Amino acid sequence: MMAMMVVVMMVMMMMIQEVTREAATLRDDIAALTDTMRDLAVRDNLLRDSKRRLDERRRLRAALQRNIQLKESTIVALRDRSVSLDEELAASNRRVFKLHTDAARILRKFADSLQVLLTLQKEVVMMELQIAELAQSHAAFNASLAESTKSLQAARAELLKLQNDKRSLYKVCRDLLLKSKEVCGLGPDDEAPPEMQQALEGGPETLDEIDAAIEDARTRASLLNINPQVLEEFENRRVAIEELQGEVETLRQTLGEQQRHLDTVKPQWLEPLGVVISQINAKFSSYLKTLNCAGEVDLFTDNEEDYAGYGLRLRVKFRLESSLHELTAHHQSGGERGVSTVLYLMALQSLHQCPLRVMDEINQGMDATNERRVFDIVVDTACSQHTGQSFFITPKLLPNLNFRPEVKVHIVFNGPEMITNPSTTTSSTSSSTTSSTSSTSSFFFGWDRDVVAKTYKK
């Protein structure tokens, strides 16, 4: 009995040892499987990172995510796959490289296209300038053509007048010839005798010789029996000729006196005007020089005798590579014309003493740089010695402007919330509301501002 129990115990011990060995083997297998799973997890993470990088390069996140999810559910199948991830990575790298190459080629084409566009834009600007110059030349040609047409019409009128005078004189000469033939007893179609033609060919030519010949003929005629009507008509014509000659001489003397008077008065007017214009030009040029530009003011006329055509011409230059051009809409922009106009007005004001000046929104339409420079010139001019009060009214100012101690800033607000306004409380029209809610800022520069400010408030 005991032997059987011992055998049973030994069998059980062997079974336990076998089970223990199997358990150890299973534990080793489990550990190996765990390591394998860990390695697979690490590899899976590496694959995830690799796929994520590929997804970022190829911008195909959705497709790669689906592949990753598929591989998560079939980890065992991934071990048996014959497709090499290195080959996929290489293929992906090749595709990314191709995309980068295509992008670089497209960028080069874009740069070339941009260069072509810039060249075309420059050509367009040059063509626009040429069109503007051609338009100005066309306008000048039209003006010259109109002037030439006017001169041609005047010449034609003068020619017509001379032709009419020629016909009138021809008629007078023909009538006198007929009367002379009648006096001499000749018919209208009869030729003068040779002796008469010879006498006429050797006759007097100057006015004094003709008068002497007439007086001699009158003396001889008094001895003959001649028709008294012919003598009377001759005398009347002689008197008329003398009167016309006197009138012509009087007109010549009057014209000479007027020309001499004009030659005397013209320097008295033109020379002081030239001095004033030179002063304006000096101020205008100095103002533009502070803006790193150039400009001049001169007296311009097409005809020195046409005093109604005299005028001031402004020529400015805003770029170093350009030359002085007349201030027109063809050569300068709106802001450049605004700056030139303001500086010209400042040049005029600096030469004229007046107790009060008002400048309303002269800084509108300027760029920030020119507006700041013009503002400095306005302040310096308004705050200089021996100048009157200056009012500079504007709805806006640039920040960080240069003010001087003589400058006082008054900000005026006008609206229904500021003060009681009967017009806004009794009227409900939209125009009254718009007017009442508007605001205006005013800035006053100059000397004796306290007195003017009190007067302004009153």
Dump pLDDT digits (tens) for 438-454: 333 344 444 344 433 44
Nearest in space to 390 (alpha carbons), one of 400, 378, 401, 399: 378
Give the pLDDT band of residue 281 (cuts 50, 70, 90).
Answer: very high
Give the pLDDT band of residue 296 (cuts 50, 70, 90).
Answer: very high
| Boundaries of domain holding 382 | 353-458
CA 352 to chain centre: 30
pLDDT surpasses 50 at 425: no
d(CA 81, CA 84): 8
Query: Beta strand 356-360 with 389-393: parallel, antiparallel or unpaired?
Result: parallel
Residue pair 318/332 in contact by the 8 Å Cβ criterion: yes
Nearest in space to 49 (alpha carbons), one of 70, 34, 64: 64
* pLDDT tens readout for residues 381-424: 888 777 778 888 888 888 888 888 888 888 887 766 665 545 44
d(CA 241, CA 234): 11
Give the pLDDT band of residue 315 (cuts 50, 70, 90).
Answer: very high
pLDDT surpasses 80 at 115: yes
pTM listed for this prediction: 0.40
Is 88 part of any domain?
no
d(CA 88, CA 96): 12
Is 445 part of any domain?
yes
Give the pLDDT band of residue 373 (cuts 50, 70, 90).
Answer: confident
Q: Give Dmax over CA atoms of the chain in angstroms.
A: 218
249-262: burial string, b at 16+ Cβ within 10 Å, e else: eeeeeeeeeeeeee
Is 260 part of any domain?
no
State how many domains the chain has: 1
Residue pair 401/427 in contact by the 8 Å Cβ criterion: no
CA 19 to chain centre: 104
* Mean pLDDT across the chain: 74
To 10 degrees, what angle do helices 368-382 and 228-290 make? 100
CA within 13 Å, CB half, 277: 16
d(CA 233, CA 176): 11
* pLDDT tens readout for residues 36-71: 888 878 887 887 777 667 667 766 666 666 777 776
Q: Which helix (H) or strand (E) holds 242?
A: helix 228-290
Tokens 């107790």 sit on residue: 355
Is 312 part of any domain?
no
Residue pair 296/284 in contact by the 8 Å Cβ criterion: yes
d(CA 68, CA 73): 9
Is 224 part of any domain?
no
CA 275 to chain centre: 31
Q: Is 59 helix (H, G, I), strand (E, B) or coil?
A: coil
DSSP for 356-387, please give it.
EEEEESTTTT--HHHHHHHHHHHHHHHTSTT-
* pLDDT tens readout for residues 229-250: 766 776 777 787 777 777 778 8
Is 398 part of any domain?
yes
Amino acid (one-letter) located at 352: H
d(CA 302, CA 147): 12
Q: Which helix (H) or strand (E) holds 311?
A: strand 311-317
Nearest in space to 212 (alpha carbons), one of 238, 233, 192, 232: 238
Is 259 part of any domain?
no
Is 366 part of any domain?
yes
